[in-house]
Amino acid sequence: MKKLGQQIDGTSIAVFRIGFGLIMLWELIYFLRVDFVRVFLIEPKVQFSYEYLSFLKPFPKPILDILIVVLIVCCLFIIIGRFYRKAMIIFCIGFSYLFFLDKAYYNNHLYLVCLLSFLLILIPADNKLSLSKKSSDQKKPTQYWHLLILRVQLAIVYFFGGIAKLNYDWLVSNQPVSAILENKAEQSFLGDFLTSDFTLYFFNFGGLVFDLLIPFLLFIPKTRIPAILFALLFNIMNAWLFSDINIFPYFMMLSLVLFLEPNKVARFINLKLFGKRSVTSISNAH
């Protein structure tokens, strides 16, 4: 329990905060581009409400359009770390409201955004790499539990992704991997390779084993670096193979910075951005 309260360097969490803001800015601009409000919230005649949330109803279109613009502004403040806590609270409430209006457009990575935006309210992610006007005395120290709670949430995503694959379609029928590879083969010069049995079983069972093991390998110091490299490759392949998962693989690639040792991230950032060759080591917490 003592370790949970240990003070650590907050640079890796700050990098995640900046990446979170940038990716969500990208997503919200995508919402505007596809006219998300009109297509998914205003035009549908039937609303498929979540259990216990049937009281949530869409506001008129002009208000919803303004809400998305407000969320975009929040992303900008999250990125620069100014008014961070207020911006994150508004973002969490606003984005969660849009998500929970209708389960017809449910997507697991959008649900993940809701969960992470709530957790980030609790974390002083603006301690580093921010334009916050708080003095050092006013800032709450970054503690190990701040990092751990994010790591655990992201590990759960991988592990339950593996659990979800333990079904007849995935294990016996090789679906939906087979259909995805066949579709990709039609658009690629790797057609024969993508439709081979080796590729099918590699992606099918390799993906299953990866999801079930990677959360544990990321937490073990000796296997952490190879696990991060495998996770990068896995998510790059996901981004190439799946055309409908949008920000998810990029989000998961960003999250890998949280599994690196905090002081090493701080030293790297200070050297590359500020030309400093060393930073004060705060803690040896992993």
d(CA 45, CA 55): 16
Q: Can you spell out the DSSP letters for 58-100?
A: PPPHHHHHHHHHHHHHHHHHHHHTTTHHHHHHHHHHHHHHHHH
**Is the predicted pLDDT of residue 133 greater than 90, yes or no?**
no
Summarize pLDDT for 243-261 with one digit per residue, the tens.
777 899 999 999 999 999 9
pLDDT (0 to 100) of residue 147: 97
Summarize pLDDT for 210-225 with one digit per residue, the tens.
999 999 999 999 999 9
Mean pLDDT of 34-51: 92
**Is the predicted pLDDT of residue 286 greater than 60, yes or no?**
no
d(CA 111, CA 123): 19
Q: What are phi and psi of 57, to 5 degrees?
A: -130, 150
**Is the predicted pLDDT of residue 285 greater than 60, yes or no?**
no
pLDDT (0 to 100) of residue 280: 45
Mean pLDDT of 35-49: 92
pLDDT (0 to 100) of residue 187: 78
CB atoms within 10 A of CB 204: 19
Summarize pLDDT for 83-126 with one digit per residue, the tens.
999 999 999 999 999 999 999 989 889 999 999 999 999 999 99
pLDDT (0 to 100) of residue 38: 94
Summarize pLDDT for 179-188 with one digit per residue, the tens.
888 888 887 7
**Is the predicted pLDDT of residue 144 greater than 90, yes or no?**
yes
Mean pLDDT of 218-237: 95
Q: What pLDDT band is residue 283 in, cutting at 50, 70 and 90?
A: very low
d(CA 165, CA 172): 11
Mean pLDDT of 135-164: 91
**Is the predicted pLDDT of residue 279 greater than 50, yes or no?**
no
d(CA 183, CA 139): 52
Tell me the HSE value of 235 on the side-chain side, using a 13 A CA sphere: 19
d(CA 228, CA 234): 10
Percent of the chain with pLDDT over 90: 70
Distances (CA, A) of 74 to 99, 109, 169, 231, 236: 17, 19, 41, 30, 28
pLDDT (0 to 100) of residue 221: 92
Burial of 57 (0-12, 13-18, 19+ CB in 10 A): exposed
Q: What is the mean pLDDT of the chain?
A: 90
Summarize pLDDT for 4-24 with one digit per residue, the tens.
989 999 999 999 999 999 999
Q: Which of 56-60, 133-137, 193-197 has the lowest mean pLDDT?
A: 133-137
